[in-house]
Structure 1
């Protein structure tokens, strides 16, 4: 038997190896006519080799974890940095740091550009995810030439550290960045991921003058919001009876909250991925995926610790209380945190594929704070939101494809977003090859802005008022249970828990223990590296069309489907139980919330101080309606024709930038932004007076000057394609008002040429002859305006291709 077995083994090895003995193919066909034996042996050998390599990667993961956690300042940043400000030295010490990001060799930084600051999320994991790899938020900004800074943190908080202390630290860091760049008048652009997003918004509400444009990616601000059948995390507080569990976990940690518990909550959302899919993907692609897997695990396993006061504040006031999006938070020194005080443009980036921060929680704060878009405008705020279709929570600020597309466009267009008039906008990002006017495209994608109203916003927020009383009931019960815990249990637990015991409990956490057991500190792992080296030297992978490999993939898919079905059943049951329990009228009445008299989701009304400010602002604007120059006239006309927004996409902004340079070369972007907003509010305040004063603003200008202004407007309008019928009527009205400002002699010549143009149009049919004319008191001009040279004559509905042939202004000629 032994010689026969040896012969069979040698034969199978020849069939699956690189060598082939003469006649072996015929012999193999004789003993195994269907190839099943060869496929089985090849699959068995490949699976054994993959198993050895897989467990060796797990050993490397454990070693990496231990090495990472033993560092004083662990992070996963892919860029070199230097510490500028240590938060531990501030008047209110925190474990945060301000780092200057040093660019890679060959990357040029323009100190005249707006500084770019990324704030890392602190939700149980270690710092560095915002600069995890070259295609990241930091990488995009560095490629664009921006000076970049990073706000990270250390593994352990300072004693007594609070959320307010962290917010004040970030404000201090931004002030330092501003001081480092006296040559630019633009405030830093700030990016906040996940937890850092709502923290930044708190800081911007307290000190709005420190912040430039704000990008919050995957950041929850409205915690009660959500869609039925999705966002199961919002029910967690209710199903555990409130925040007493947070206090218990903190007391077990002797005043420190282990971030591994937060990571475990994230992992439970998708058990198929946590317990099988992620690991199987590594096992299935062990020859190529080891490096990527270890790189990510270095961050995912870098658990940090939060202060007990911090996490209790977060859970009570945000997760359960929902007080941030309703302006109910008040600082220890009496300042109200009202997000309506933010004066910087806010870009909200979220994804429909995110089950941690779904769009309702990322966008619901807008619905909580404002009655409608007019309310947003009255508070002088610009809010832009973008919804990705598929990417998950981490993909929003980690995915390379997202960084190359969305983050690149946001970064490149922040100066343009900064001049958008107040209002609500949604962005769409389309490939450049699908658009017209390609010479105005600076990158591979086009960023477009579309005005939105609250009806369209509600399609994303999906707010259900009947759920508010349920969540308000949870908040009341949470307060009761927390009080009972503090009265009966907390004193005993604090008296018995020691720092050593708390440290041992953290080390024994199942997630942490999994890393340590699979490392070189486990004697059973000693043979793994030797075996793995031997396998790598003589690897025998099988192809995907191997019969048994196909069965393996089918089994994996079946297991994933089963785990997903269990997850869906768990989530639907949890939601139903939550709705039934906290929807009980008796329970609501017991906590004093039954009846229509209670407002459970407070929408702040306009404060008396704000109303007085608005009235004073309106009076000041009325005085400015008839005062100004051609710059005000052109901008006012631009906003009027476009229906409130000066542009629909970045091509218009590029044209605006060129027009701004020609009209007044020395004007700063900040002054340009002020001009846009001021003219927007003037039109909003008194449109008739604003339009009738246009000839006064252009008084004294020559005929060529006025032709040049009209040409500038045509170029901007043409960038986004053909004007709508309504916009074309408005543009004709503007040209009529501009004609009134011409010198008398020139005006007569222009009218004469207009008459000739009308006669020609009457005998020669053209699209322009069908355009509507405005019902204004002034003489009705034709849609085509004729100047002395005749070169500026163009239809108001000219398409971008035709407009491109006349881009040269009189000055260019």
Structure 2
């Protein structure tokens, strides 16, 4: 034993390690056996999913006039969950990108879990393993529109339209629907969702080059034809696997092997979802690749429905919350955010469209961690769910959600709902550009790749497709799916493999006589070192392949000769994917501006109070959840007859905010005419205003100047006011002076 404790690499260390390694090998094989059995059982289910919750079927998409394989279910809350019927429902939409549904409710600490914890009814939009023959992406959008109508009708008492969470692929799908049917949506949360497919940073985001390096989407078409009209989702999963060969070929299995006594359950739970491969119609996959992955037509407004309606994301009227991560190699921040640059020329233009966009960027979590990480669920998703009404009433603009832990330095912690304080700080398009992105030459290269893809697809359809379809049938397609490498790896360890017959019995004996090696055993350190070297080697190989892929892509599609041959204008200074402007919108804005000018003197105390509140808050631009909580508490103390419903309150906030943007002096000058004549009512209103403004912390000096002006507009002197003497000392949260914060926008940026 002394030798083991000293770990000198002697015979005892070698013997105990050898015994442990053999036992771990047997247990590892047994987990592989269990995985294969689980895979077959999961595939045999009628509606396989990995939801942790009990559900109730509300609507089956197969019963609709244009049938799809999508379903709407209600999540049944547990006994310890208290649901508030006045809160808006949440609808979680899972991605149909090769895997089965349920990742949004994979465990208690999930998007569904935090939404119910916050008191919201929760629904889930999932799908069956096989597509309905003939269904299209447009059919799915129409189906989801019906689902949202049903959810809204089931909760007429709720304050606000349903909040919809779109995970990964589901994000662009619900954005398309929201552009066509904006009236159906409350706030939209996009978790790891790509919307700008060409975007990225050189040397960091190689997946975007894949379509061009394969010559375009003709391979997608051929795969669908070989599948007899069905595209195997396992190929999409394979693409994910290829992005990280170190994890795919080694780390995932080694982590299980090295921690076999504790890791099996977690591994099997994840593999149940990861191996739940589904299929798509060939037409669906072709649309996704042509219109999105290679064509990048969503943000530029070039996608049209069968009726000719353009899908313009600027039509969306609901707040859009974008959650992305720098550690996500599938959907990097540029692909999650650069659609904003494609659609808008400035923050003023975002405001002109009445749009509110809030984004937050995690520093390191991976793509799957955005959906399945308990830490993310307890922080970001929990804050979004708890403060969704706060986000819904934010004035139009571009914001970054900043989360700070609650601590002693936080003012008014009783107004915070969780362990984090959310504040939304104003940003400009320059902040998005600062994350990195494409230059004009790179944009032209991708545009050339899209043109080449169209040419190659036409050639394939003209010369090869008839022969491929002639050779394919349902039997050959089924055989090809069964022989896919990802499925074979499950079959290899399954019960039909006679060489696995001994494993179950051997594993039982090993568990009865299990003797784990001590952690200080020197051979364990050697094992770990070898593993690290393997990972480093695979990572180096991946990086070399990525560099070669990037250089090859730019060498081919960056060629001026090729670009000229496929019709790319190499003299234009306008990015080839910039969304077109609409003169009708400019006319509507002009008309609405005139209406708002005429309405500045209309209203009463409520309008005056909100206008004054916004005027003071605009001095630093940051919105804090504690200020909204103070407003909510004021609303709750009002009688139901006097209380303004949340949608009307939101509309009023936006109206008053736009008045201040149009003509601040005229909007302020009109406030005295909106106030009641008696001094007591004005004094009471001003006290409410001061309380709300002080909720995030005592106003800083720049706020105090504006607050003093509001006193004058309310006809109150310093002696009559019950607020602190002027000027109040600047006390900001966490001991920082907000008036000196670099994030505070100046007047020009506003």
Superposed pair shares fold, TM > 0.5: yes
Question: What residue is the counterpart of 1:131 in the other structure?
Answer: 105
Matched ranges for 1:65-80 at <5 A: 65-80=39-54
Query: Aligned match of 2:210 in 236, 251, 265?
Result: 236
Q: Secondary structure at the match of 2:91?
A: strand
Across the aligned residues of Structure 1 and Structure 2, the Cα RMSD in angstroms comes to 1.9
Question: What residue is the counterpart of 2:496 in the other structure?
Answer: 521
Aligned-residue offset at 1:734: 1.6
Query: Aligned match of 2:587 in 597, 605, 612?
Result: 612
Q: Conserved in 2, the CA contact under 8 Å of 1:720 and 1:800?
A: no
Question: What residue is the counterpart of 1:99 in the other structure?
Answer: 73
Matched ranges for 1:694-713 at <5 A: 694-700=671-677, 702-713=678-689
User: 1: CA distance between counterparts of 2:347 and 2:133?
Assistant: 43
Query: Aligned match of 1:715 in 691, 702, 711?
Result: 691
Report whether the alignment pairs 1:683 with 2:614. no
User: 1: CA distance between counterparts of 2:732 and 2:212?
Assistant: 59
Question: What residue is the counterpart of 2:118 in the other structure?
Answer: 144
Matched ranges for 1:15-26 at <5 A: none
Report whether the alignment pairs 1:395 with 2:366. no
Question: What residue is the counterpart of 2:526 in the other structure?
Answer: 551
Question: What residue is the counterpart of 2:541 in the other structure?
Answer: 566
Report whether the alignment pairs 1:727 with 2:703. yes
Aligned-residue offset at 1:177: 0.6
User: 2: CA distance between counterparts of 1:47 and 1:185?
Assistant: 59
Report whether the alignment pairs 1:442 with 2:434. no
What per-residue deviation string (whole Å, max 9, x for no partner) do you get for residues 226-279 of structure 1? 011111110001100000010011111111000111101101101001110110
List runs of 5+ in structure 2 lacking aligned partners: 734-750
User: 2: CA distance between counterparts of 1:795 and 1:571?
Assistant: 61
User: 1: CA distance between counterparts of 2:694 and 2:574?
Assistant: 49
Bigger Cα Rg: 1
What per-residue deviation string (whole Å, max 9, x for no partner) do you get for residues 667-695 of structure 1? 11111101100000111111111011111
Further displaced range: 674-683 or 596-605: 596-605
Report whether the alignment pairs 1:494 with 2:469. yes
Matched ranges for 1:3-14 at <5 A: none
Q: Conserved in 2, the CA contact under 8 Å of 1:113 and 1:184?
A: yes
Q: Secondary structure at the match of 1:736?
A: helix
Q: Conserved in 2, the CA contact under 8 Å of 1:421 and 1:644?
A: no
Question: What residue is the counterpart of 2:455 in the other structure?
Answer: 480
Aligned-residue offset at 1:182: 1.6
User: 2: CA distance between counterparts of 1:254 and 1:489?
Assistant: 15
Matched ranges for 1:411-490 at <5 A: 411-433=385-407, 435-490=410-465
Query: Aligned match of 2:146 in 168, 172, 181?
Result: 172
Report whether the alignment pairs 1:509 with 2:484. yes
Further displaced range: 303-312 or 519-528: 519-528
User: 2: CA distance between counterparts of 1:594 and 1:207?
Assistant: 35
Q: Conserved in 1, the CA contact under 8 Å of 2:92 and 2:124?
A: yes
Question: What residue is the counterpart of 2:719 in the other structure?
Answer: 786
Aligned-residue offset at 1:735: 1.4
Question: What residue is the counterpart of 1:778 in the other structure?
Answer: none
What per-residue deviation string (whole Å, max 9, x for no partner) do you get for residues 454-479 of structure 1? 11121125332221100000010000
Matched ranges for 1:28-47 at <5 A: 36-47=10-21
Report whether the alignment pairs 1:797 with 2:716. no
User: 1: CA distance between counterparts of 2:638 and 2:581?
Assistant: 39
Q: Conserved in 1, the CA contact under 8 Å of 2:386 and 2:417?
A: no
Q: Conserved in 1, the CA contact under 8 Å of 2:440 and 2:573?
A: no
Alpha carbons of structure 1 residues 296 and 33: separation in structure 2 relative to 1, 3 Å: closer
Q: Secondary structure at the match of 2:398?
A: strand
Q: Secondary structure at the match of 2:435?
A: helix
Aligned-residue offset at 1:291: 0.2
Query: Aligned match of 1:535 in 510, 515, 526?
Result: 510
Further displaced range: 657-666 or 298-307: 657-666
Aligned-residue offset at 1:801: 9.9
User: 2: CA distance between counterparts of 1:82 and 1:512?
Assistant: 31
Q: Conserved in 1, the CA contact under 8 Å of 2:301 and 2:580?
A: no
Q: Which has the higher contact order (CA 8 A, sep 6+)?
A: 2
Q: Conserved in 1, the CA contact under 8 Å of 2:314 and 2:353?
A: yes
User: 2: CA distance between counterparts of 1:304 and 1:535?
Assistant: 36
Question: What residue is the counterpart of 2:555 in the other structure?
Answer: 580
Aligned-residue offset at 1:793: 4.4
Q: Conserved in 1, the CA contact under 8 Å of 2:199 and 2:334?
A: yes
What per-residue deviation string (whole Å, max 9, x for no partner) do you get for residues 421-475 of structure 1? 0000001111111523222222111111100011112112533222110000001
Aligned-residue offset at 1:705: 1.9
Aligned-residue offset at 1:186: 1.2
Aligned-residue offset at 1:791: 4.0
User: 1: CA distance between counterparts of 2:496 and 2:552?
Assistant: 45
User: 1: CA distance between counterparts of 2:659 and 2:480?
Assistant: 63
Q: Secondary structure at the match of 2:125?
A: strand
Query: Aligned match of 1:111 in 74, 79, 85?
Result: 85
Alpha carbons of structure 1 residues 553 and 190: separation in structure 2 relative to 1, 3 Å: same
Question: What residue is the counterpart of 1:633 in the other structure?
Answer: 608
List runs of 5+ in structure 1 lacking aligned partners: 1-14, 16-24, 743-749, 751-784, 803-813
Aligned-residue offset at 1:610: 1.4
Count of residue pairs brought into register by the alignment: 729
Question: What residue is the counterpart of 1:193 in the other structure?
Answer: 167
Report whether the alignment pairs 1:220 with 2:215. no
Alpha carbons of structure 1 residues 162 and 35: separation in structure 2 relative to 1, 3 Å: closer
What per-residue deviation string (whole Å, max 9, x for no partner) do you get for residues 369-418 of structure 1? 00010010000000000000110001111111100110000000000100
Q: Secondary structure at the match of 1:78?
A: coil
Report whether the alignment pairs 1:163 with 2:137. yes
Further displaced range: 568-577 or 612-621: 612-621
Alpha carbons of structure 1 residues 619 and 33: separation in structure 2 relative to 1, 3 Å: closer
Further displaced range: 57-66 or 651-660: 651-660
Report whether the alignment pairs 1:252 with 2:226. yes
Alpha carbons of structure 1 residues 375 and 644: separation in structure 2 relative to 1, 3 Å: farther
Q: Secondary structure at the match of 1:288?
A: helix
User: 1: CA distance between counterparts of 2:469 and 2:573?
Assistant: 38
Alpha carbons of structure 1 residues 35 and 481: separation in structure 2 relative to 1, 3 Å: closer
Question: What residue is the counterpart of 1:762 in the other structure?
Answer: none
Question: What residue is the counterpart of 2:645 in the other structure?
Answer: 668
Aligned-residue offset at 1:609: 2.1
Question: What residue is the counterpart of 1:776 in the other structure?
Answer: none
Question: What residue is the counterpart of 2:381 in the other structure?
Answer: 407
Aligned-residue offset at 1:662: 5.2
What per-residue deviation string (whole Å, max 9, x for no partner) do you get for residues 32-71 of structure 1? 9966000000000000000000000000000100111111
Q: Conserved in 1, the CA contact under 8 Å of 2:443 and 2:576?
A: yes
User: 2: CA distance between counterparts of 1:233 and 1:245?
Assistant: 16
User: 1: CA distance between counterparts of 2:608 and 2:576?
Assistant: 43
